[in-house]
Amino acid sequence: MTLFKILFPIICITGIYFLFKSIGKIMEVYGGKKIEFPATSIMDQLELDAAGTFEIAYKRPSLTGIIPSDCHFKLKRHADQQELKVFNKVNLLGMRKDMSGSRVVPIAEFNLEQPGTYTLRMTESEDYKKGDKIQITAKTGSKGFIAIFAIIISAFATIGGLVLSILAFMNKL
C-alpha cells in the first residue's frame, strides 16, 4: 500500500515532465521559419538560408473544400540559373491546422544542397480561392507524429498517475 503512495505520484510527476518536454518539441518542429505568399501569384522570390528538404504546402482558410493538388512547380537557383526538381507529393496524413484555423496540406517537396536566393514558379489553377496561400517550410517528416504520440502517452501517464495517487491516498486500492 505504501508502495502505491510513492509509485503513482512519481508516475504523475514524470508524465507532467514529459508532457511539457513533448509540447516544447512540437512547438520546435512546427514553429520554424515559414515563407508564405498568395497562391494566385505565379512567381515568387525565395530567400532560403539553410540546406535540406523543404515542403510546399497549400494553405486554405476554410475548414471544407478540396485542396488543389494539381499544382506544378519549377524552382530555379539565382546564382547559376540551374533548375531544381520539385516533386509533387500530396500528403493528406501531414495535414494540419494553424492557429487561425486554416488547413495546411503538403503538396510538394524539394531538396536544397546550398542556401541562397531562388525563384519559384507555379501553374495557375481555376481551383484557387481568395485567401489561399502557398507555404514553404522545412520538412518535418515523422518528427511531428512522434511528438504528438509522446504528448498522448505522457498525458495518459499524468492523468492515470493522478487518479491512482488519489485512490491510493484514500486507501481505495
Phi, psi of 68 (to 5 degrees): -65, 125
Tell me the one-letter amino acid at 13.
I
| % of the chain exceeding 70 in pLDDT | 96
pLDDT tens for residues 27-42? Answer: 888 777 888 888 877 7
Instruction: Centre a 10 Å sphere on the Cβ of residue 49 and count the other Cβ atoms it contains.
Output: 7
Supply the DSSP symbol for 130.
T
Phi-psi region of 97 (alpha: psi -120 to 50; beta: other; left: phi over 0): beta
Is the whole-model pTM more than 0.75?
no
- 47-56, 97-106, 125-134: least confident range: 125-134
Domains of the chain: which residue ranges?
2-169
Give the three-class secondary structure for 169.
helix
For 135-164, letters b (16+ CB in 10 Å) and e give bbbbbbeeeeeebeebbeebbebbeebbeb
**Nearest 5°: phi and psi at 88?**
-80, 115
